Amino acid sequence: MFDGKKLDVSRFITEQVDAIRTQVGEDVVILGLSGGIDSTVTALLVSKAVGDRLRCIFVDHGLLRKNEFEDVLAHYRTLGLQVKGVRAAARFFAACKGLTDPEEKRKAIGKTFIEVFQEEARQVEGAKWLAQGTIWPDIAESRSDKGTVKSHHNVGGLPEQMHLGLVEPLKYLYKYEVREVGAALGLDAGFLGRHPFPGPGLGVRCLGELTPERIAVLQEADAIWIAALRESGWYDKVWQAAAIFVPVRTTGITDGRRTYEHVIALRAVNSTDAVTAEPVRLPWELLDRVQHEIIARVDGINRVVFDISTKPQATIEWE
């Protein structure tokens, strides 16, 4: 977000690497990887500046996509990053138990993430800095003059007892600019083309209380949706796609018998900056195939709907 001017990527990288070196000196930096573009590009920038004094932590909060933890952890290691994978799903589900309000869930997920991250960070000798993949839309939504639109657990709220300085090299960039920086740093096209994924993960795509059972259902539906977009050639034409678990039961018919099960909503939008977004007009044949496959393969779902809302008034994520 540099005064509306096109980002000079080479200059940006040089300036940020120099700024990070000046800021952290010879100290150790820790970074919480999420599996997304923002934290990954941040890691590559910081690594370029401080080398092996960057220590990354990748927390599995149980709200990732199907097989995401294992797949992304392996990819991070091919990038040469020092990454520790931490499985902590049970703690996150316990923290969110009984919560249905979106902001309460976001804050519970963020608070638990910080707790887990603190515990891991204390084991990193000499760590004095925390690097984060905060980008401009995160700040805009968290600090709007008209009130908070959504809490982002990588914006503010870090407890003082962490005693860590903050490194946020991407905080004035939009998502498309982050991708440009990532490409210049050598990230492969497959990873760069990954759709944005929220910090709280499927926690903001599962309405109502978060339970392991609901998330498992959502993971299966989401996997079908994303696979269909890839197979049909639409994945790279869509900026962000998501499946959403809607805890509303509707009547259906399966094998001649009445069912009373939940709803999956499908979302696909195009955007350049995440500040505004338009729904993608996908082929009916694709949507029809996906709804049939989800209802046939995912237990507990008997209805699929497609979200055609714009941002604004709706946000991209449902919560």
* Structure confidence at residue 156 (pLDDT): 46
How far, in Å, are 31, 54, 81, 120, 127 from residue 48 at the CA level?
A: 14, 9, 11, 23, 17
Residue 144 has pLDDT above 60, yes or no: no
Distance CA 152, CA 123 (A): 25
CA 45 to centroid of chain Cα atoms: 19
CATH number of 205-307: 3.30.300.10
Distance CA 37, CA 120 (A): 22
Query: Does domain 9-192 match CATH 2.60.40.420?
Result: no
Mean pLDDT of 114-127: 90
Least confident residue range of 9-13, 71-75, 113-117, 157-161: 157-161
* Structure confidence at residue 275 (pLDDT): 86
* Structure confidence at residue 89 (pLDDT): 98
Q: How confident is the model at residue 43 (pLDDT cuts 50, 70, 90)?
A: very high
Spatial contact of 249 and 261, defined as CB atoms under 8 Å apart:
yes
Residue 163 has pLDDT above 90, yes or no: no
Q: What predicted TM-score, i.e. pTM, was given to this entire model?
A: 0.84
Task: For residue 104, give the H/E element and its range.
Answer: helix 102-121
Spatial contact of 53 and 30, defined as CB atoms under 8 Å apart:
no
- Residues 45-81 pLDDT 10s: 999 999 999 999 999 999 999 999 999 999 998 999 9
The mean pLDDT of the chain is 91
Q: How confident is the model at residue 34 (pLDDT cuts 50, 70, 90)?
A: confident
Q: What are phi and psi of 15, to 5 degrees?
A: -65, -40
Domain ranges of the chain: 9-192, 205-307
If phi > 0 it is left, if psi is from -120 to 50 it is alpha, else beta; for residue 36 that is beta
DSSP class of 306: E
DSSP secondary structure of 227-287: HHHHHHT-GGG-SEEEEEEEEEEEEEEETTEEEEEEEEEEEEEE-SSSSSBEE----HHHH
**Type of residue numbered 52:** D
